[in-house]
Structure 1
Amino acid sequence: MTKKTHDIWNARFINRIIDSMADGVFTMDDQGRISSWNPSMERISGYSATEALGQTCQLLQCSRCFGKNCPASIEKCRILEIGQSEAKECLLRHKDGHDVAVIKNASVVKDDDGQFVGIVETVTDMTELNRARERAEAAALRLAEVYQMNNIIGKSHAMKEVFQAIRVAAASEATVLIQGESGTGKELVAGAIHYNSDRHEGPMITVNCSALSENLLESELFGHVRGAFTGANRDRMGRFEEASGGTIFLDEIGELSPFIQVKLLRVLQEREIERVGDSRRRKIDIRIITATHKDLYTRVRDGLFREDLYYRLKVFPIQLPSLRERREDIPLLVDYFIQQMNKKTGKNVARISQPALRIFMDHPWPGNVRELENAIEHAFVLCDRDQIEVSDLPLEIRQPDINGACRDLPPVKSSRRKKLTQTELLDLLDACDWNKAEVGRRVGLSHTAIWKYMKKWDIPLQREK
Structure 2
Amino acid sequence: METIRQAIEKNELLNQLLDAIGDGVFVLDLTGKIVAWNSAMESITGYSFNEIKGKSCRTLKFSYCFGRGCPSGLHDCKILKTGKTTPTECMINHRDGHALSVSKKARVIRNNRGHIIGVIETVIDLTELKNARLKMEEATRRLGELNRLGGIIAKSQVMQNVFSFIKASAAGETTIFIQGESGTGKELVAGAIHSIGERRDMPMITVNCSALSESLLESELFGHVKGAFTGANRDRIGRFEQADQGTIFLDEIGEISPYIQLKLLRVLQEKEIERVGESKKRKVNIRIITATNKDLKSLVDEGRFREDLYYRLKVFPIFLPPLRDRREDIPLLVNHFIKLNNKISGGTVTGMAKPALKVFMEYDWPGNIRELANAIEHAFVLCVGRQIEPEDLPVEIIGQNTICAEPCRSQPVPAPSGKKQRQPLERDRLLSLLRDSGWNKAEVARQTGFSRAAIWKYMKKWNISMKCEE
Asked if 1:231 is matched to 2:231, the reply is yes
Q: Which position in structure 1 is the counterpart of 2:368?
A: 368
Asked if 1:202 is matched to 2:174, the reply is no
1:411-430 correspondence to structure 2 within 5 Å: 422=428
Deviation string for 1:230-260 (max 9, x for gaps)?
1111111000000011000000000000000
The answer as to whether partners of 1:250 and 1:289 remain within 8 angstroms in 2 is: yes
Return the alpha-carbon distance in structure 1 between the equivalents of residues 174 and 312 of structure 2.
10
1:230-379 correspondence to structure 2 within 5 Å: 230-379=230-379
Q: Which position in structure 2 is the counterpart of 1:193?
A: 193
Q: Which position in structure 2 is the counterpart of 1:22?
A: none
- Which 4+ stretches in 1 moved above 6 angstroms? 144-147, 451-454
Return the alpha-carbon distance in structure 1 between the equivalents of residues 387 and 398 of structure 2.
17
Q: Which position in structure 1 is the counterpart of 2:397?
A: 397
Q: 1:146 to 1:304 in 2, by over 3 A?
A: farther
Q: Which position in structure 1 is the counterpart of 2:69?
A: none
Deviation string for 1:97-128 (max 9, x for gaps)?
xxxxxxxxxxxxxxxxxxxxxxxxxxxxxxxx
Deviation string for 1:427-454 (max 9, x for gaps)?
xxxxxxxxxxxxxxxxxxxxxxxx8897
Asked if 1:455 is matched to 2:462, the reply is yes
Deviation string for 1:378-403 (max 9, x for gaps)?
0011112111111111111111389x
The answer as to whether partners of 1:327 and 1:361 remain within 8 angstroms in 2 is: yes
Return the alpha-carbon distance in structure 2 between the equivalents of residues 156 and 422 of structure 1.
43
Structure 1 residue identity aligned to 2:362: D
The answer as to whether partners of 2:227 and 2:233 remain within 8 angstroms in 1 is: yes
Give secondary structure in 1 for the equivalent of 2:462: helix
Aligned pairs, number = 275
1:99-114 correspondence to structure 2 within 5 Å: none
Give secondary structure in 1 for the equivalent of 2:206: strand
- Give the alignment's TM-score, normalised by structure 1: 0.56
How far 1:201 moved relative to its partner? 0.5
Deviation string for 1:208-245 (max 9, x for gaps)?
00000000000000000010001111111000000011
Return the alpha-carbon distance in structure 2 between the equivalents of residues 155 and 454 of structure 1.
32
Q: CA RMSD in A?
A: 2.6
Unaligned runs of 5+ in 1: 1-143, 406-419, 427-450, 459-465
The answer as to whether partners of 1:250 and 1:288 remain within 8 angstroms in 2 is: yes
1:40-79 correspondence to structure 2 within 5 Å: none
Structure 2 residue identity aligned to 1:148: L
How far 1:265 moved relative to its partner? 0.2
The answer as to whether partners of 1:179 and 1:319 remain within 8 angstroms in 2 is: yes
Q: 1:401 to 1:349 in 2, by over 3 A?
A: closer
1:122-201 correspondence to structure 2 within 5 Å: 148-150=146-148, 151-201=151-201
Deviation string for 1:133-185 (max 9, x for gaps)?
xxxxxxxxxxx999924420110000000000000112210000000000000
The answer as to whether partners of 2:427 and 2:462 remain within 8 angstroms in 1 is: no
Structure 1 residue identity aligned to 2:227: G
The answer as to whether partners of 1:147 and 1:188 remain within 8 angstroms in 2 is: no
Q: Which position in structure 1 is the counterpart of 2:49?
A: none
Deviation string for 1:254-280 (max 9, x for gaps)?
000000000000000000000000000
The answer as to whether partners of 1:245 and 1:285 remain within 8 angstroms in 2 is: yes
Return the alpha-carbon distance in structure 2 between the equivalents of residues 382 and 276 of structure 1.
51
The answer as to whether partners of 1:147 and 1:189 remain within 8 angstroms in 2 is: no
Return the alpha-carbon distance in structure 2 between the equivalents of residues 183 and 364 of structure 1.
13
Structure 1 residue identity aligned to 2:222: F
Structure 1 residue identity aligned to 2:210: S
Q: 1:200 to 1:326 in 2, by over 3 A?
A: same
Q: Percent same amino acid among aligned pairs?
A: 64
Give secondary structure in 2 for the equivalent of 1:148: helix
Return the alpha-carbon distance in structure 2 between the equivalents of residues 329 and 307 of structure 1.
36
Structure 1 residue identity aligned to 2:370: R
How far 1:457 moved relative to its partner? 5.3
Return the alpha-carbon distance in structure 2 between the equivalents of residues 269 and 245 of structure 1.
17
Structure 1 residue identity aligned to 2:350: A
The answer as to whether partners of 2:158 and 2:326 remain within 8 angstroms in 1 is: yes
Q: 1:255 to 1:148 in 2, by over 3 A?
A: same
Q: 1:329 to 1:197 in 2, by over 3 A?
A: same
Return the alpha-carbon distance in structure 2 between the equivalents of residues 218 and 232 of structure 1.
13
Return the alpha-carbon distance in structure 1 between the equivalents of residues 399 and 336 of structure 2.
24
Return the alpha-carbon distance in structure 2 between the equivalents of residues 345 and 147 of structure 1.
25
Unaligned runs of 5+ in 2: 1-141, 403-409, 411-425, 433-457, 466-470
The answer as to whether partners of 1:184 and 1:320 remain within 8 angstroms in 2 is: yes
Return the alpha-carbon distance in structure 1 between the equivalents of residues 146 and 254 of structure 2.
26
Structure 2 residue identity aligned to 1:208: N
The answer as to whether partners of 2:359 and 2:401 remain within 8 angstroms in 1 is: no
The answer as to whether partners of 1:378 and 1:392 remain within 8 angstroms in 2 is: yes
Give secondary structure in 2 for the equivalent of 1:220: helix
Greater Rg by CA = 2
